[in-house]
Copies of this chain bind each other. A is one copy, B any other.
Amino acid sequence: MAHVNTLFMASSRKARLYGGMDADERRTERRLKLIDAAIEVYGEVGYPSATVKAICEAAELTERYFYESFANSEALLIAAYNHVVGHLHEEMTAAAAAAGHDAEARLHAALTLYFTRLKEHPKPARVFLLEISGISPAVDAVKLDAGRVFSDILVPPVLDAKHGDRGAAATLLSTGMVGAVISIALRWVSKQYPQTVEDVVAIAASFCRVALTEADRRRDLRLR
């Protein structure tokens, strides 16, 4: 029994090392490289024109490794999107939390972080924070979810036992708020940042404030 079929090697035992890395580690690394390359390429030519080949070249990997990590282009798009947006959202949440309990202060902190990052990383910005639509229902769903998260960070939904789901009007208010912020960001980025972060934040904040105060006003009306 000196020879053991690799198929029976439980995941507990490590696979052969290459370049000092586990098989799993190598796969994960390649996956990462592909995601980074995708962001780069999307930023240059846009997702629709980004071919698998071009992304693989940018990642310095061959197509074989593309299909090792992703079923198709769309899967990579989604992974890349979640990568960028997930990261950003975490940071925004942290920034808001650090700003304390005042709604205005939290809003300001989160938006400042958002626009600061946008200015630091134009490529991911252009592609992901902005427009991926009409690709497929799956992608749209991902985007929709990201919008919801974004909205919740800026204006945390009021927890209300009686109204588990916020009202339909509140949803439209959130939608409008996110739409406004993202549109502003898109233009700001594509015009190469003509205003200071501070100025853009102030403008974006004014739209968020509407969503905030309108939601309050409407809730008061309902509960009165």
Complex interface: stretch among A81-89, A97-105, A155-163, A169-177:
A169-177
Contact B206 A210 (CB under 8 A): yes
Contact B169 A175 (CB under 8 A): no
Contact B169 A203 (CB under 8 A): yes
Task: Please provide the chain A residues from 144 to 169 with a CB less than 8 Å away from any CB of chain B in the complex.
Answer: 168-169
CA distance A1 to B134 in the complex (A): 59
CA distance A131 to B183 in the complex (A): 12
CA distance A199 to B48 in the complex (A): 37
CA distance A207 to B178 in the complex (A): 12
Q: A134-B131, A176-B204, A206-B214 are in contact. Are A168 and B195 (CB under 8 A)?
A: yes
Could you tell me the distance in whole angstroms from the C-beta of A204 to the nearest C-beta in chain B? 7
CA distance A164 to B47 in the complex (A): 37
Contact B168 A175 (CB under 8 A): no
Contact A176 B172 (CB under 8 A): no
CA distance A76 to B56 in the complex (A): 33
Chain B, Cβ-Cβ closest to A135 = B48
Contact B214 A134 (CB under 8 A): no
- Residues of B near A172 (CB, < 8 A) are 184, 187-188, 195, 200, 203
- Residues of B near A207 (CB, < 8 A) are 176, 180, 207, 210
Contact B135 A133 (CB under 8 A): no
**CB-CB nearest 9 A-B residue pairs:** A179-B183, A176-B180, A180-B180, A131-B133, A179-B179, A46-B134, A176-B184, A175-B187, A179-B180
Contact B47 A199 (CB under 8 A): no
Could you tell me the distance in whole angstroms from the C-beta of A145 to the nearest C-beta in chain B? 13
Q: A46-B134, A131-B131, A206-B214 are in contact. Are A176 and B181 (CB under 8 A)?
A: yes
